[in-house]
Amino acid sequence: MKIPRTASRPASSRLLALLPATALAAGLLAGCSDGGTPDAGSSASASASVDPTQQVAENLSEFSYAGEDGKTALELLEQHDPDAQVQGKGENAFVTAIRGREADPDTEFWGLYVDDELATVGAGSLETKDGQTITWKLEEIEK
């Protein structure tokens, strides 16, 4: 929006005329910015045009959080997503759903990665460390 300049208007009047436009622009920018994530250290995508919970569940294919000394990947998953679905306990735990997104048992599974490397043990056995990135990726079962 271009505000016409007139020689008869003092500078303070011109500044006051710009104030509503500046406030509008700031409001629009604030509405477009990221207001934060549901859990620090976790990531998921959602769209405002659909129920965010449903959208996350349908489109979630990756979920990450920071490792912590002395805690297992499973303990941290349950901390960051208390509703995660797990079959079995401890070393025998098998994650079947994260953030409401269930893996189709015939075609998919939740793979566990540490710093982008596939884990060699299960989530209940994997002792994490500060500075590590723990990531769950929805993967297809190779047939």
pLDDT tens string, the chain, 143 residues long: the values are 454 444 444 544 443 344 444 443 444 344 444 444 444 444 443 333 444 455 556 788 999 999 999 999 999 999 999 999 999 998 899 999 999 999 999 999 999 999 999 999 999 999 999 999 999 999 999 98
Q: Residue 138 to residues 45, 68, 86, 88, 113: CA-CA distances in angstroms?
A: 14, 23, 15, 19, 11
In a domain, 33, yes or no: no
Domain carrying residue 67: 60-140
List the strands of the sheet with 85-87, edge to edge: 85-87, 94-98, 101-102
40-51 in b/e form (b: 16+ CB < 10 A) is eebebebeeeee
In a domain, 66, yes or no: yes
Q: Are 126 and 114 in contact (CB under 8 A)?
A: yes
In a domain, 45, yes or no: no
In a domain, 22, yes or no: no
In a domain, 123, yes or no: yes
For the chain, how many structural domains are there in total?
1
Q: Are 55 and 46 in contact (CB under 8 A)?
A: yes
- To the question of pTM greater than 0.75 for the whole model, the response is no
